[in-house]
Amino acid sequence: MSGPNTDYDPVEVAAVSPAEVEAARDAALAAIAAAADLEQLKAVRTEHAGDRSPLALANREIGALPPQARKEAGQRVGQARGAVNQALAARQVELEADNEARILVEEAVDVTLPTDRDPVGARHPLTTGAELIADIFVAMGWEVAEGPVIEAEWLNFDALNLGPDHPARTMQDTFWTDPGEDHLVLRTHTSPVQARTMLTRGVSEGAPIYVVCPGRVFRTDEYDATHSPMFHQVEGLAIDEGISMAHLKGTLDHFASQMFGEGITTRFRPSYFPFTEPSAEVDLICFVCRGVGHDDKGVCRTCRGEGWIEWGGCGIVNPRVLQACGVDSTRYSGFAFGMGIDRTLMFRHGLEDLRTLFEGDVRFTTAFGSEL
Amino acid sequence: MKAPVSWIRELVDLPESVTTEVLTDRLTALGLKLEGIHAAGAGIEGPLVIGRVLTQDKEPQKNGKVINWCTVDVGDANGSGEPQGIVCGAHNFGPGDKVVVILPGGVLPGDFRISERKTYGHLSAGMICSAAELGLPDDGADGIIVVPADGPEPGTDAREFLGFGDEVIEFEINPDRAYALSLRGVAREAALGFDVAFTDPAVRELPEVDGKAWQVDVEDPAGCPVFAARLVSGFDPTRPTPEFIQRRVEQAGMRSISLAVDVTNYVMLELGQPIHGYDADKVAGGLGVRRARSGERLTTLDDAVRELSTEDLVITDDSGPIGLAGVMGGATTEMSDTTTRILVEAAHWDATSMFRTGKRHKLTSEAGKRNERGVDPLLPGVAVDRVVELLVAHGGATAEPGFTLVGTAPERPTITIAPDLPARLSGIDISAMTTVEHLRAIGAVVTEHESGALEVVPPSWRPDINDPYDLVEEVVRIVGYDQVPSVLPRRATGRGLSRTQRLRRRIGRTLAGAGCVEVVSFPFVGPATFDKLGLAADDPLRTTVGLANPLSSEEPSYTTTLLPGLLNAAARNVGRGAPGVALFETGTVAFPSDNGPAPIYGVHTRPSEAELEKLFEALPVQPLHLAVVLAGERTRSGWWGAGAEAGWSDALSVVRRLADELGVEIEVTSAARMPWHPGRCAVISVDEVVIGHAGELHPTVCKAFGLPVRSAAVELDLDALMAAAVDVTPGPVFSTMPLAKEDVALVVDDAVTVAAVEDALRDGAGELLESVRLFDVYTGEQIGEGRKSLAFALRFRAADRTLTEAETGAARDAAVAAAAERTGAVQR
């Protein structure tokens, strides 16, 4: 059949008319903009971009148009649908972001709530203090030597030039095991570890001894704020060719500055110990008042105004000790020193009562954490 | 040792610029450590004068006390010259006595202001003072100070008499400086310190020995190398001690007793030589010096009856022992207030013997203290002569002509020393000349040998100097310890921390990370401790290393378990309000070895290897243990809900965490063992060797220690655990192929352990099984009485491929079949 399309439906033609398409597009864009949430947007999508939406219907009419009209109408409808879809996508992103933001606000918590569900552990400052000291010496190439707490009398006394009539061997000072004929003691110092090191390792060319010996020791002291039947010592022993008091001083100065801060040094005073000759007491320049004896608030509490703190004993190893321990004293000399770890911690941390170290109150120990 | 500064200055020519502080600083630098400076009279102000009591009326009071209403002549000190009326409560004085009076306006120590006041019906204008009221050391007189008759006149300021303004230096004398237990020694050090002249009080012209003063027979010259004695007669026992002697004796911290006794003490303080005075009329026959005989007894001056040992040196007369030589005299020949003939004795004694006697009789005396440290052997004759001089001068006595001097001082050794040894050992640049000079300064005789070596004879008063190193200390202390330079030794090449040292740190950190707090407790225990742990009478833990002298008779042993200390600490924390506590301790415990006793070797040579071996073997076995105690809340309660109470599983969890950290495979089995709950105690083993236990504590043990029930504990042999620790961890190999999951629920009898089922599943599943983990235990009616349902999650994975459902299913079925066969498990 040819001739004009007399069947042409003016209504359907109207659907793709520029006015109609524009109206449908504008209605869709307005509805998209008005959608307040994702739910509403979903309804808008169905109404304005769904299969039965005006623009979808208009699209369907395009095929019915005369060929010369199709291109123009197709362009018109296609652009309108594109604009609607773009607006939908943009609004979708917008509303999703809004939604997420709202959820995050709703999920807010009070971050100041306590969180201490799990118990806090800690290592004892006597342990970590001994490690701190050991590390200072290990960094200098020294080693850490250890020995038993219940020790042979010979190693605790005789080998260290504390002869059978030395006052320290009386029952007043030393815990003896029962029966006394077993010749065993709770070691009164960590010095037997020094003797053991010399005896078992020996000293030879190229193999000097540089050891620190931290450990638990016992004396029959009554238990009070400054005395304890059990306490902790660290001793050091260096045996090498040409060792002198100058090396002792150098080592202790280094130890002091590592332990208490740059510039903290030591001084020696003549003293007496059976295992050393010459012997000296070691004082530490007060690390709080730096030797002045007082600060703005008055007399320094750490050194009680002395400017110095008594730290320990030291000296050149007595050749009699070297002899008993098999070291050739004509070739080698050595120095030894010793101080209380408990006491060192007491003044380093300002502890008032020695007993807090042994009570086991977790509030004391946890304050120090896992390292000193 | 207490030394008055005025006395030191009398013996050494110290410049005025040397203040007490300068002096003590220098002496400390030389080795006489300052203990304190006592300045008598500190805190006293105003008129403190000598008074003479004129009248003393005793007036009983209603309260039963008797007070003395006194009038006291205080010269012109009160401005009027009239007697001063004073009420006094003390009774150790009478009319005519001289006393010390503080007048109104004065101040006593403690800001005690004196004014006229009405008391006991009198107007008391001042106070008659006791030593304590003046802040002086207790003189033991227990009352007011009575001034010797030859003391200052009434009205004189009392300060000089009381020694105020004269500071007393107290030194701590080291055992090697016994010579400084005398003014002679202290003054010598002061002279050395300031390089000034020193008057040695021991240098005196002794009279020619003109016959014996007394018959003396020294049977034991090794114990008593020198014995000196002189006799005085006509001594007036009523004579008071001269003021300067009394003051100095008291300043030195000794009591003034009587002229004769005070004089012997005075000379001992001056020279360092102990002296004994006998009432010569009470001595029966000649004196002897010997060791005591078995069964002999002696009543010493302190009125103690002492059973003598055959090692004790004694002084005898015809009656037997009359003195514990060098330590304390006997009561029978004690000087009294009627003694007129005094036998003065001084001797040099063997120091070791003195020390042993003092220790044996638990007797410390001023004499013993000096004799056991070693006294100058040249002193006995000098000291005796000096005492006689003072008794003659102040006691009206006459010296008898005889002078007994038995024996000779032991020879001093000659020490050979290289002149550069002080420089080598001190690191200070000390010349040979300085060495010689300083050795001479301490009184040594130095001979320079052709070879350059020095031959040194130490002075008689320095028994402590015996070898070259002793001489080095003398030289270096004079040069000054402050001259020692600070030099680090050459860098050592150490091997760092040992493996066990590193492992111990790791264990501590792991436990702290698991919320446990480290404790350090005393290792002393006793039978009651073990009773509290509920240990059976024959429990091996009761076999301890005992202490001969424990601090407490309740705890006479070194512990075999760390639990008691830890349980007590836990209870302490709970008692102080902790809602939960997790504690751990590492420490050695001790078990007796039967290889004792430990030998005592000589010290002149090193023991042989075999000897050392014997020594080490004789020691108790002392393994390092670890214990953990968990009590109360293991996790805290809070807004998140209730916390979990500690229980048996927490104890095992700690053990497993530790084992994992160290790479140790442990086996867990059950056992009944105190102090644990009999049904909730795990035995921890490594390679079938038991290394410890973990679980819930027995309720009676919790109760005994005051801990909440269900508290849990662990004790492990840490040495054994560390020995099993993996040395070098092999690189783990694992598959990245997909995981296949299969869960199975198996019903077994209650008695079947999870470990047994798990082992069967593992074995049955074969090599495709990656892990098996129990995730639920169910008991209830559905399962039936005496049965339980165990739900396991099986995880399968192949190294090289994705597993098919058929493969996984087959492995699961095989696992269930093995469980059924070995444990009777039935799949639900």
- Name the residue ranges covered by the structural domains of chain A: 10-106, 125-366
d(CA B564, CA B573): 14
- pLDDT at position A61: 83
Contact A245 B514 (CB under 8 A): no
Residue B251 exposure: Cα atoms within 13 Å on the Cβ side: 32
* pLDDT tens, residue by residue, A21-59: 888 899 999 999 999 999 999 999 999 889 888 888 888
What is the mean predicted confidence (pLDDT) over B580-607?
94
Q: Check if A324 contacts B (Cβ < 8 Å).
A: yes
Distance (Å) of CA A144 to CA A156, A212, A308: 19, 5, 28
From chain A residues 269-308, the ones with a CB under 8 A of any chain B CB are 269-272, 277-281
- Quickly state the pLDDT bin for A69 (edges 50, 70, 90): confident
CA distances from A225 to A343, A351, A356, B89 (A): 11, 10, 9, 39
Mean per-residue pLDDT, B488-516 = 94
Residue A299, pLDDT above cutoff 90: no
Residue A7 pLDDT greater than 60, yes or no: no
Contact A250 B549 (CB under 8 A): no
Interchain pair B509, A123: CB under 8 A: yes
pLDDT above 60 (res B322): yes
CB contact under 8 A, B590 and A149: yes
Could you tell me how many CB contacts below 8 A there are between chain A and chain B? 306
Listing DSSP states for B193-219 in one string gives: HHT--B--TT---PPP--S-SS-EEES
Mapped onto helix, strand or coil, the DSSP state of residue B323 is strand
Q: Where are the beta strands (DSSP E) in A197-326?
A: 209-218, 230-240, 266-273, 276-285, 294-295, 298-299, 308-317
Cβ atoms of B53 and B70 closer than 8 Å: yes
Residue spans of beta strands (DSSP E) within B294-334: 297-299, 305-307, 313-317, 320-324, 328-329
Cα A46 to Cα A54, A60, A97, B263, B524: the distances in Å are 11, 17, 21, 127, 87
Rg (CA), chain A: 45
A220 contacts chain B (CB < 8 A): yes
3-state SS assignment for residue B21: helix
Alpha helices by DSSP H, B462-526: 468-479, 499-513
Residues of B in contact with A208 (CB under 8 A): 492
Q: Mean pLDDT over residues B143-170, rounded?
A: 87
| Average pLDDT value for residue range B140-161 | 84
pLDDT digits (tens, 9 = 90+) for A330-339: 999 999 999 9
Hey, is B786 helix, strand or coil?
coil
B6-53 residue pLDDT tens: 999 999 999 999 999 999 999 999 999 988 888 877 778 889 999 999
List the one residue out of B434, B244, B447, B276 whose CA is nearest residue B370. Answer: B276
Name residue B556's amino acid.
P
Out of A118, A150, A272, the one facing B558 most closely (by C-beta) is: A150
pLDDT for position A1? 44
A13 band by pLDDT with thresholds 50, 70 and 90: low
Q: Is the C-alpha dihedral spanning B112, B114, B117, B119 positive or negative?
A: positive
The pLDDT value given to residue B89: 87
Residue A11 above 80 pLDDT? no
Residue A272's pLDDT band, with cuts at 50, 70 and 90, is: very high
Residue A304 confidence (pLDDT): 84
pLDDT higher than 60, residue A9: no
pLDDT tens digit sequence for B642-695? 999 999 999 999 999 999 999 999 999 999 999 999 999 999 999 999 999 999
Structural Rg of chain B based on CA atoms? 41
pLDDT at B368 over 50: yes
Of B428, B494, B618, the CB nearest to A141: B494
φ and ψ at residue B733, rounded to 5 degrees? -115, 130
Using CB atoms, pick whichever of B175, B505, B515 lies closest to residue A121. Answer: B515
Average pLDDT over residues A74-91: 91
**Distance to chain A for B288, nearest Cα, Å:** 26
Partner-chain residue, chosen from B477, B519, B636, that has the shortest CB–CB distance to A124? B519
What integer pLDDT is reported at residue B138 of this predicted model? 64
Q: Tell me: the pLDDT tens digits for A90-146?
A: 999 999 999 999 999 999 999 999 999 999 999 999 999 999 999 999 999 999 999
B643 interface with A at CB cutoff 8 Å: yes
Q: Which of B296, B295, B294, B258 is closest to B277 using CA atoms? A: B258
Please report the pLDDT score of residue A171 as a whole number.
61
- Tens of pLDDT, residues B774-825: 999 999 988 889 999 999 999 999 999 999 999 999 999 999 999 999 999 9
- pLDDT score recorded for residue A293: 84
pLDDT at residue A29, as a whole number: 92
**Number of DSSP helices (H) and strands (E) in chain B, helices first:** 20, 42
- Tokens 């006997």, located at residue: B330
Pick from A177, A209, A272, A317 the residue to mutate for testing the B interface (most B CBs within 10 Å): A177
Cα torsion through B221, B224, B228, B229, rounded to 10: -100
CA distance B812 to B816: 6
What residues in A contact B26, CB-CB < 8 Å?
A: none
Chain A CB within 8 Å of residue B741 CB = no
Domains, chain B, ranges and CATH? 2-40+167-194 (3.30.56.10), 48-147 (2.40.50.140), 216-406 (3.50.40.10), 416-482 (3.30.56.10), 499-724 (3.30.930.10), 740-827 (3.30.70.380)
Q: Tens digits of per-residue pLDDT, B179-200? A: 999 999 999 999 999 999 999 9
Average pLDDT for A356-370: 95
pLDDT in tens, B160-179: 888 787 889 999 998 889 99
d(CA B171, CA B528): 46
Place of tokens 């001992």: B268
Determine which of A5-14, A178-187, B43-52, B497-506 has the lowest per-residue pLDDT on average: A5-14
Confidence at residue B192, expressed as pLDDT on a 0 to 100 scale:
95
Q: Nearest-CA residue of chain A relative to B508?
A: A123
Token couple for B161: 């008499």
Identify the pLDDT of residue B701.
97
Q: In 10 A of CB B301, how many CB atoms?
A: 17
- Secondary structure letter of residue A234 according to DSSP: E
A337 touches chain B (CB under 8 A): no
Most B CBs within 10 A among A112, A135, A149, hence the mutation to make, goes to A149
Q: Identify the H or E element spanning A126.
A: helix A125-138
Residues of B in contact with A171 (CB under 8 A): 548-549
Using the beta-carbon criterion (under 8 Å), do B175 and A272 form an inter-chain contact?
yes
Contacting residues for B374 by C-beta, under 8 A, at least 6 apart: B178, B351, B463, B464
How far is the C-alpha of A335 from the C-alpha of B472, rounded, in Å? 14
Give chain B positions within 8 Å (CB) of A310: none
pLDDT of residue B324: 95
**Chain A hits for B643, Cβ within 8 Å:** 117
Its CATH architecture, for the domain A125-366, is 2-Layer Sandwich (3.30)
Q: DSSP 3-state assignment of B530?
A: helix
**What average pLDDT score do residues B449-462 get?**
94
Say yes or no to pLDDT of B142 above 70: no
B508 — contact with chain A (CB < 8 Å)?
yes
Average pLDDT, chain B: 94
Which residue from B176, B498, B615 is facing A154, i.e. has the nearest CB? B615
Cα separations (Å) of A347 from A215, A255, A287, A302, B17?
A: 19, 16, 10, 6, 36
What span, in angstroms and rounded, lies between the C-alpha atoms of B402 and B280? 14
- Residues 31..50 of B with a Cβ closer than 8 Å to A: which? 31, 33
- pLDDT the model gives residue A5: 53
| Mean predicted confidence (pLDDT) in A314-321 | 97
pLDDT classification of A305: cutoffs 50, 70, 90: confident
Euclidean distance between CA atoms B681 and B677, whole angstroms? 6
Find the residue in A nearest to B421 (Cα). Answer: A244
Provide the pLDDT for residue B394. 96
pLDDT of res. A168: 65
Give helix then strand counts, H and E, for chain A: 13, 11
C-alpha span between A276 and A252 (Å, rounded): 16
Mean pLDDT within A173-187? 94
pLDDT band at A10 (very low <50, low <70, confident <90, very high): very low
Per-residue pLDDT at A349: 94
**Is residue B393 a contact partner of residue B262, using CB atoms and an 8 Å limit?**
no
Residue A176: its chain B contacts at CB < 8 A? Answer: 547-549
DSSP code at position B497: S
Q: Is A120 helix (H, G, I), strand (E, B) or coil?
A: coil
Each residue's pLDDT tens digit, B418-439 = 999 999 999 999 999 999 999 9
Q: What would the DSSP string read from start to end of A69-114?
A: HHHHHHHHHHHHHHHHHHHHHHHHHHHHHHHHHHHHHHT---TTS-
Using the Cβ of A160 and the Cβ atoms of chain B, whether some distance falls under 8 Å is answered with no
A25: exposed, middle or buried (Cβ count in 10 Å: 0-12, 13-18, 19+): buried
Instruction: Find all residues with CB under 8 Å of B806, minimum gap 6, and list them.
Output: none
| Residues sharing a CB contact under 8 Å with residue A71, sequence separation 6 or more, in sequence order | none
Strand partners, B18: none
The answer to whether A278 contacts B473, with C-beta atoms less than 8 Å apart, is yes
Cβ distance of A158 and B481 shorter than 8 Å: no
Question: pLDDT (tens digit, 9 = 90+) per residue, B547-576?
Answer: 999 999 999 999 999 999 999 999 999 999
**Cα distances (angstroms) measured from residue B809 to each of A316, B766, B768, B794, B795:** 77, 12, 11, 11, 11
Q: ω before A148 within 30° of 0 (cis)?
A: no
Which of B364, B464, B603, B640 would you mutate first to test chain A, the one with the most A CBs within 10 A?
Answer: B603
| CB contact (8 A) between residue B520 and residue A126 | yes
Q: Which helix (H) or strand (E) holds B670?
A: strand B667-670
Q: Do B588 and A149 touch (CB under 8 A)?
A: yes
Among residues of chain B, what percentage have pLDDT more than 70? 99
Bridge-based pairing of strands B216-218 and B287-291 is parallel
Strands (E), B554-649: 557-558, 580-588, 624-632
Residue to test with chain B: of A272, A328, A351, most B Cβ within 10 A: A272
Q: What pLDDT score was predicted for residue B162?
A: 83
3-state secondary structure of B777: strand
Whole-angstrom Cα distance, residue A122 to residue A90?
57
Q: How far is CA A74 from CA A21, A60, A63, in A?
A: 11, 10, 9
Give A279's contacts in chain B (Cβ within 8 Å).
473
